């Protein structure tokens, strides 16, 4: 990326932020199967944002519409696959998820509090970590690929059980070190474009960038079905993509940096309802 392109891109962002572009669907409501999910709430006392917006708000009407109906939401096909997986025995223990956990509804609420500190393991755990822990240690099966289709379908199915639950991740106590690391990453400028997550998702949300509305980069809608790649996308895959876009060397999905960043980004959405799997462009 040469300096001219970089300057054009940044000045483009600044110029547009002066005339705060209207969000695509400012007045639209996100109602799925009769359940209204708030897409706009007040930021909590510790939040750097006065108002929190779902990424859904910034999408075009056409993309928004796909999330209004589970029959239209292409991400639900993958969720249905995960329902089958939930019932299927795998590994040397010969057990399925259902054998131990019963109905997947037993997972209600979990998405809203992850990532969280797992005291037994002495580590910060994401949803993918919990799933793989069961796959390997309780089922005796091969670990699933963290950002892979099978894993993200299951993350989608389990997230769906928390639809409408308010994001409430813990940032203190034993999770504090990860929270601080995630926050540092969020505000550190990196890459050839020398930009931080905050430059786009805090300073410039609502503006147009390369024909796309910038959102606050919230993750309450993950995994996200993207029209661009026609699959459910992991949180860490999205982080990686954003780092690549600013020509930075991305951290590794499933690594400690992205785990910490996920905790921090999740906490920036404390107060928003869970809406995964969402639909994005």
Q: Which residues are catalytic?
A: 242
Closest CA to 38 of 213, 214, 269, 232: 269
Say if CB 53 and CB 205 are below 8 A apart. yes
**Residue 49 structure tokens:** 């944002």
Asked if 218 touches ligand HEC (CB under 6 A), the answer is yes
Taking the least distance from each CB to ligand HEC, the nearer of 70 and 202 is 202
User: Of 151, 167, 181, 219, which lies in the binding site for ligand HEC, with binding defined by CB under 6 A?
Assistant: 219
* Residues 6 or more apart whose Cβ sits within 8 Å of residue 218: 52, 53, 54, 55, 265, 268, 269, 272
Positions in 119-158 near ligand HEC (CB under 6 A): 130-131, 133-135, 138-139, 154, 158
Asked if 214 touches ligand HEC (CB under 6 A), the answer is yes
Say if CB 91 and CB 172 are below 8 A apart. no
Asked if 28 touches ligand HEC (CB under 6 A), the answer is no
Positions in 89-118 near ligand HEC (CB under 6 A): 93, 95, 97, 99-101, 110
CB of 65 to ligand HEC, least distance (A): 16
Asked if 261 touches ligand HEC (CB under 6 A), the answer is yes
Q: Which residue is nearest to ligand HEC (CB)?
A: 55
E strands present in 2-148: 30-32, 35-37, 40-42, 51-53, 116-118, 123-125
Asked if 161 touches ligand HEC (CB under 6 A), the answer is no
User: Of 151, 200, 263, 274, which lies in the binding site for ligand HEC, with binding defined by CB under 6 A?
Assistant: 200
Secondary structure (3-state) at 130: helix
Closest CA to 72 of 281, 279, 280: 279
d(CA 198, CA 221): 19
User: Of 242, 254, 256, 257, which lies in the binding site for ligand HEC, with binding defined by CB under 6 A?
Assistant: 242
* Residues 6 or more apart whose Cβ sits within 8 Å of residue 211: none
Question: Does the CA dihedral 269-272-277-281 come out positive or negative?
Answer: negative
How many residues form the binding site for ligand HEC (CB under 6 A)?
Answer: 41
Contacting range for ligand HEC; rule: CB under 6 A; set: 45-53, 62-70, 234-242, 268-276: 234-242
DSSP state of 138: I
Asked if 38 touches ligand HEC (CB under 6 A), the answer is no
Asked if 78 touches ligand HEC (CB under 6 A), the answer is no
User: Of 25, 55, 253, 276, which lies in the binding site for ligand HEC, with binding defined by CB under 6 A?
Assistant: 55
- DSSP H or E run through 262: helix 256-267
Summarize as ranges the residues that interact with ligand HEC (CB under 6 A).
55, 58, 93, 95, 97, 99-101, 110, 130-131, 133-135, 138-139, 154, 158, 195, 197, 199-201, 209, 212, 214-215, 217-219, 221, 224, 238-239, 242-243, 245-246, 261, 265, 280
């Amino acid at each position: 990326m040469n300096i001219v392109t970089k300057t054009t891109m940044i000045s483009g962002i600044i110029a547009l932020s002066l005339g705060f572009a209207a969000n695509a669907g400012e007045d639209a409501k996100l109602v799925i199967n009769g359940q209204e999910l708030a897409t706009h709430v007040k930021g909590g006392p510790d939040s750097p944002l006065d108002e929190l917006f779902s990424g859904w708000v910034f999408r075009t009407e056409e993309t928004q519409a796909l999330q209004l109906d589970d029959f239209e939401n292409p991400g639900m096909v993958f969720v249905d696959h995960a329902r089958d997986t939930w019932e299927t025995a795998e590994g040397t223990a010969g057990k399925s998820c259902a054998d131990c956990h019963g109905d997947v509804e037993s997972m209600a609420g979990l998405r809203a509090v992850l990532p969280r500190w797992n005291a037994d393991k002495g580590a910060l755990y994401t949803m993918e970590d919990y799933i793989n822990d069961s796959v390997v240690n309780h089922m005796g099966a091969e670990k699933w690929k963290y950002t892979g289709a099978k894993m993200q379908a299951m993350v989608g199915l389990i997230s769906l059980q928390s639809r409408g639950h308010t994001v409430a991740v813990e940032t203190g106590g034993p999770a504090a070190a990860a929270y601080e690391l995630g926050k540092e990453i969020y505000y550190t400028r990196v890459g050839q474009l020398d930009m931080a997550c905050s430059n786009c998702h805090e300073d410039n949300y609502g503006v147009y960038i390369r024909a796309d509305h910038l959102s606050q980069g919230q993750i309450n809608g993950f995994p996200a079905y993207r029209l661009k790649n026609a699959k459910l996308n992991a949180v860490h895959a999205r982080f990686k993509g954003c780092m690549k876009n600013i020509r930075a060397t991305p951290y590794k999905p499933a690594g400690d940096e992205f785990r910490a960043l996920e905790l921090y980004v999740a906490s920036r959405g404390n107060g928003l309802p869970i809406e995964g799997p969402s639909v994005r462009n």
